[in-house]
Amino acid sequence: MTGLVRKNFASPEETRPFEADKGKVDLVSLNAIPVGRGTFEPGWRWSEHVKPIAGTDSCQASHVGLTLSGRMHIVMDDGEEMEFGAGDLMVCPPGHDAWVVGDEPCVVLDWAGYGDYAKR
């Protein structure tokens, strides 16, 4: 077992920008477990700003996360939909589109789905 580990998003190990400067994912690794902080700017939509990077029809990442600020609307491929805001924890399986709601950036911590997210 390793000892204590401390990481900080002020010094991410990797940053992956989205298309059209609509946000980014900052990544750190905690004992080989990737943890990401996604910053999604107003106007961001997965199908416009990450789909060209992912090359899939919908997001195929599975997310487990906490919304820190802003709002995000998620629609599953089967039509189920939900909106998440500050303080909401989420579990989101693969097969969805998502977009920012409103004029505030949406910031999400994710400890399951950002390992390969928006990876070029």
Mean pLDDT of the chain: 96
pLDDT classification of 1: cutoffs 50, 70, 90: low
**Tens digits of residue pLDDT in 65-118:** 999 999 999 999 999 999 999 999 999 999 999 999 999 999 999 999 899 999
Among candidates 21, 4, 3, 5, which has minimal Cα distance to 13? 5
State yes or no: pLDDT of 57 exceeds 60. Answer: yes
- CA dist., res. 85 & res. 101, Å (int): 9
pLDDT classification of 44: cutoffs 50, 70, 90: very high
CB-CB neighbours of 114 under 10 Å? 24
- CA dist., res. 117 & res. 119, Å (int): 5
Higher-pLDDT residue of 2, 4: 4
What is the residue extent of each domain of the chain?
A: 14-110
The dihedral through the CA atoms of 44, 96, 70, 27 has a sign that is: negative
3-state percent breakdown (helix, strand, coil) of the chain, nearest 5:
10, 45, 45
**Taking CA 70 as the corner, what is the angle to CA 72 and CA 16, rounded to the nearest 5 degrees?**
75
3-state secondary structure 40-80: ECCCCEHHHHCHHHHCCCCECCCEEEEEEECEEEEEECCCC
Thinking of the domain 14-110, which architecture would CATH place it in?
Sandwich (2.60)
